[in-house]
Structure formats: structure tokens, C-alpha cells
Amino acid sequence: MKSLDQIAAELQGYDPQALAATSVQAFLERLVAPVTGTEQVPVAAALGRVLAQDIVSPFSVPPHDNSAMDGYAFDGEQLATGTPLRLAVVGTALAGRAWQGRVGPGECVKIMTGAIMPAGLDTVVPQEFTRSVDGSAIEVPAGLLRAGDNRRLAGEDLMAGRPALLQGERLGPAACGLLASLGLPTVPVLRRVRVAYFSTGDEILSVGEPPREGAVYDSNRYTVAGLLARLGCELVDLGVVRDQPELLEQAFRSAAGQADAIITSGGVSVGEADFTKAMMKQLGDVAFWKIAMRPGRPMAVGRIAEAAPGRAPAVLFGLPGNPVAVMVTFLAFVRPALLRMMGCRDTAPPPLLRARSQEAMRKKPGRTEYQRGIVSAAPDGGLQVRTTGNQGSGVLSSMVQANGLIVLHHAQANVAPGDEVDVMMFDGAI
Ligand code: AMP
Ligand code: MG
């Protein structure tokens, strides 16, 4: 395992006092590693879990050629003539009950969607395109069909012996359905990542405590818990920790002793007259950064080990105190790092959306700025975005109104109304 200094040495132009957002991501990629423990869970409980190994199809899906329509199945070779085709109906194939007889030239079988194609037949004419003749035959109009139409091929979804899903797939509703279509009762998944989190600061009140002058209620523990729950992490809530060395030490040791990652908020800004930074330094290998971004400039990262044989040291994310800064740094840095710890193959942030800015935005080149934005459909059918107003890093209400973060990149300058900007949509992350 590389120390923080070794990781820093690998990165060009690493300067903890002025770190570009992209360097933070590169650093964290090297800092964290996927968990290794696995377990077997029922498919019904697998949503959001990460596959521990490739899932190979034990059979093909669908297992047989079958009809995509309600209609009549016949041998498409007879379509070559260019004149209407008259076919005698010799039987019926139902979904779940195949037609076993033979079907000769000039004959067809009435067939339902999903029914197995009778032997030798490759084409289905939908019911609504046929004309009944004397009650025992149908006519297929000329020029309507080509051989093979309206037939689903065996294995067109999944082929026997091939991987249906790859290791590292984070199972969504579609993947769970796919696993079920293979008849699998359980699937192997990586164990959940366990994250301990607490808030720091003498001015921070827990819900239930009486209000006090100069004190604020702790919101960070709730936003962090929600963001972690969205990722499917196991949560260990360590509450609000007062700014006292014994209490902080106890909290960090407890967190490191039971979790894969620790998330704290507050107490990492420059000139903080508190013990949080000192305790992080004392207990672990920790770097303190000033990131060239807004909001969320200060951040601490590193590892804190608590003697527990066979367990990797806990990764520490010391987030700033301001509620919006917590959420932005989580989305920009912590979330991709946790996805990597969860063993996800795809940890890349979702593609940014381009939208036309409805307003002017001031922006200094040399730092990445995240503005809370509301993306909507423009009258011309394109996308437009406006900010939620007050962009103060403590203004959580504007985070509530937003449906994404406008990302003004490191080198970018002022934005004029009508300029296109990038937006990181919240989607399922928030
Ligand atoms: P700090 O990073 O500790 O200097 O905190 C920056 C600002 O965020 C201060 O105004 C704090 O009162 C506020 N803050 C810190 N932690 C929390 C929290 N858990 N909930 C709400 N506000 C907080
Ligand atoms: Mg503080």
C-alpha cells in the first residue's frame, strides 16, 4: 500500500496548497482500493449491490426461436413470388404450448407472441395484416414482409456460455431482471462498504438539544447519511463530536476500528482553532489540502489505522463544515472514491450535460466552481439552466431547489447569457 507521500510523488505538480479538482480525483483513485469480501444474496435483495464475479448464462435467453407477434407462422421462402400468398391454417401454437406437427408448403400455423416457432418456420405475419379466406386459410399481402420478420431468435438476449453480466456491475433494476431471467436464485456480490461519519464543532447541536445562541443544528450528518444511503453503503453514525482531544480521539478510533471509510465534517479549514486536524495528524497518514474550487476549499484525506488484524486502514475524508461544501465535495470526490471501494467497474462520473445559461455568471480562471442550477427545457427544445440564486456555501435551501451542479471548469472565465455550460445532473446521486 502506497503512503500519501508516495502517491503525491506520482502526481505531476502536486501542491497541497493549491490543488486542482482534477488532481484530487487522480489522488483519490490511487488512495482507495476495492473491498474484497464477498457474499451470496438473493436476486430480490441484490439491487444496488456490486457483482463479485462474471455471471455466465447457463442457457440461452430466449431458449428457442419464438414469435414477436400474434399472427401466423410460415416458411418465408414462399414470399419470393411477389404475389399475395395463400396459406392453409393447420394448427395453433400458444405461448408455453408448442405446435408439434409438421408444416408443409402452402401451410401456416396460428401463433401467439412468445410461442415457439414450429420446426422449419421462420416468418410471422401479424394477424392484422392478413385476410381470412373461407375460414380455413389466410392471405398474406405481397411486398409486406421479408423472410425472418417478427421472429425473435434464440439467444438474442443472452447466449449460453457467454457472460451475461460482468464483475463490478452495480446492479440496477434492469440487471436484477436479467439475473432473474437466468433463473438464478442468488448472486455473488461484494460486501457493502462500511462508512462511519460524524460532525465536529462546539457550535453544532444535535436534533433534540435545545437551541443555544451562536449554535446551529447539525445538518451535515443528515446530508452525508442520505448520500451514503444512495450508494448502498452501511452507515455508522457517530453523532456530533465536541472539540475536545479525548472525545475526538475516541471517535476516530471507534470509526477506524469498524469502518472502511470515515467521513467527518468541519474543523479542517486553515486557522481552525480546534483539535480536529491535530487529531487526524496524530492518528493517521493525513494530508491537508486547499483545493482550487468553490465551494469546498479545505479538505483532509488520508488513512487511519486501528489495530485490527487483516483489515485495511480506514480511508479518511475530512470534509469542510459548510453544508453545501460538504455535498459538493462528496459528489465531486468522495462519491467516485467510494464507488471504487465498492468494486464498481464504472466509477467515472456520469457524462456532463450541456445547457445554455440563462444568466451571466462571474468566474475567475484558476479554480473549479460548482453552482447550484436548475436545468429545464428551453422553448426551442434544447436545454437551459439558471442558478438557484444565493450561492453561499452555507445556503442549503438552494441545494434543495437545484437539480444539478453547473460545473465551471478550472480554466473557464465569465459566462455570458446564452453561453453553453456543463452541468452535473443529480439523477440518483441526491
Ligand atoms: P468549519 O469548517 O468547521 O470552519 O465550519 C464552517 C461553517 O460550517 C461554520 O459556519 C459551521 O458552523 C458550519 N458547520 C460546520 N459543521 C456543521 C454541521 N454539521 N451542520 C451545519 N453546519 C455546520
Ligand atoms: Mg469548526
Domain boundaries defined on the chain = 4-37+192-341, 39-61+156-190, 66-152, 353-425
For the CA of 394, the nearest atom of ligand 1: 8
pLDDT band at 349 (very low <50, low <70, confident <90, very high): confident
Q: What is the mean pLDDT of the segment spanning 52-59?
A: 97
- CA separation, residue 58 to residues 155, 160, 175, 189 (Å): 11, 6, 16, 18
Share of the chain above pLDDT 70, in %: 99
Instruction: Give the span between the Cα atoms of 181 and 164, in whole angstroms.
Output: 10
Tell the residue nearest (CA) to atom 20 of ligand 1. Answer: 218
Q: What is the mean pLDDT of the segment spanning 338-350?
A: 92
- Predicted TM-score (pTM) of the model is 0.91
CA geometry: angle at 330 spanning 326 and 332, to 5°? Answer: 120
How many of the other CB atoms lie within 10 Å of CB of 89? 18
**Average pLDDT, rounded, for the chain:** 95
CA–chain centroid gap for 170, Å, is 7
Ligand 1 contact, 266 CB (< 6 A) = yes
Ligand 1 contact, 323 CB (< 6 A) = yes
Exposed e or buried b per residue across 235-253, where buried means at least 16 C-beta atoms within 10 angstroms of its C-beta? ebebebbebeeebbeebbe
| Among the listed residues 208, 203, 233, 205, the one whose alpha carbon sits nearest the alpha carbon of residue 221 | 205
Whether the per-residue pLDDT at 414 is higher than 70: the answer is: yes
Q: What is the mean pLDDT of the segment spanning 88-103?
A: 94
Instruction: Give the span between the Cα atoms of 189 and 171, in whole angstroms.
Output: 9
Helix (H) or strand (E) holding 231: helix 220-231
Whether the per-residue pLDDT at 272 is higher than 80: the answer is: no
pLDDT band at 80 (very low <50, low <70, confident <90, very high): confident
What is the chain's percent helix, strand, coil content, to nearest 5? 25, 30, 45
Let me know if domain 66-152 sits in CATH 1.10.260.40.
Answer: no
Ligand 1 pocket: which of 216, 264, 396 to mutate (most atoms within 8 A of CB): 216
pLDDT, tens digit, 9 for 90 and up, residues 359-410: 999 999 999 999 999 999 999 999 999 999 899 999 999 999 999 999 999 9
Q: How, if at all, do strands 71-74 and 107-111 pair?
A: antiparallel
- Packed helices 245-258 and 276-283: angle between N→C axes, nearest 10 degrees: 50
Quick one: pLDDT at residue 306? Answer: 82
In Å, the largest CA–CA distance within the chain is 95
Ligand 1 pocket: which of 223, 265, 397 to mutate (most atoms within 8 A of CB): 265
Quick one: pLDDT at residue 273? Answer: 61
- CA separation, residue 214 to residues 204, 217, 248, 372 (Å): 9, 10, 22, 27
Per-residue DSSP letters for 55-111?
EE-SS-BSSS-EESSSEEEE-GGGGGGSS-EEEEEEEEEBTTB---S---TTEEEEE
Q: What is the mean pLDDT of the segment spanning 176-201?
A: 96
Whether the per-residue pLDDT at 428 is higher than 90: the answer is: no
Ligand 1 pocket: which of 322, 393, 399 to mutate (most atoms within 8 A of CB): 322
Q: How far is the CA of 273 from the centre of ligand 2 (A)?
A: 8
CA geometry: angle at 417 spanning 412 and 421, to 5°? Answer: 40
pLDDT band at 235 (very low <50, low <70, confident <90, very high): very high
Ligand 1 contact, 393 CB (< 6 A) = no
Instruction: Give the span between the Cα atoms of 329 and 298, in whole angstroms.
Output: 10
Tell the residue nearest (CA) to atom 10 of ligand 1. Answer: 322
Q: How far is the CA of 407 from the centre of ligand 2 (A)?
A: 27
Q: What is the Cα gyration radius of the chain?
A: 30
Q: What is the mean pLDDT of the segment spanning 55-68?
A: 96
Ligand 1 contact, 267 CB (< 6 A) = yes
353-425 CATH choice from 3.50.50.60, 3.40.1160.10, 1.10.760.10, 2.40.340.10: 2.40.340.10
Cα end-to-end distance, the chain, whole Å = 32
Instruction: Give the span between the Cα atoms of 168 and 52, in whole angstroms.
Output: 6
pLDDT, tens digit, 9 for 90 and up, residues 25-51: 999 999 999 999 999 999 999 999 999
CA geometry: angle at 400 spanning 395 and 403, to 5°? Answer: 120
pLDDT band at 82 (very low <50, low <70, confident <90, very high): confident
Instruction: Give the span between the Cα atoms of 391 and 396, in whole angstroms.
Output: 9
Let me know if domain 4-37+192-341 sits in CATH 3.40.980.10.
Answer: yes
Instruction: Give the span between the Cα atoms of 301 and 304, in whole angstroms.
Output: 10
Classify residue 127 by its DSSP letter.
G
Tell the residue nearest (CA) to atom 17 of ligand 1. Answer: 321
Instruction: Give the span between the Cα atoms of 67 and 150, in whole angstroms.
Output: 6
Tell the residue nearest (CA) to atom 14 of ligand 1. Answer: 321
Tell the residue nearest (CA) to atom 15 of ligand 1. Answer: 321
Instruction: Give the span between the Cα atoms of 430 and 416, in whole angstroms.
Output: 28
39-61+156-190 CATH choice from 3.40.50.2300, 3.40.47.10, 3.40.720.10, 3.90.105.10: 3.90.105.10
Quick one: pLDDT at residue 65? Answer: 97
Share of the chain above pLDDT 90, in %: 91
Count H helices and E strands in the chain, helices first: 9, 26
Ligand 1 pocket: which of 204, 209, 280, 290 to mutate (most atoms within 8 A of CB): 204
For the CA of 199, the nearest atom of ligand 1: 19
Quick one: pLDDT at residue 81? Answer: 73
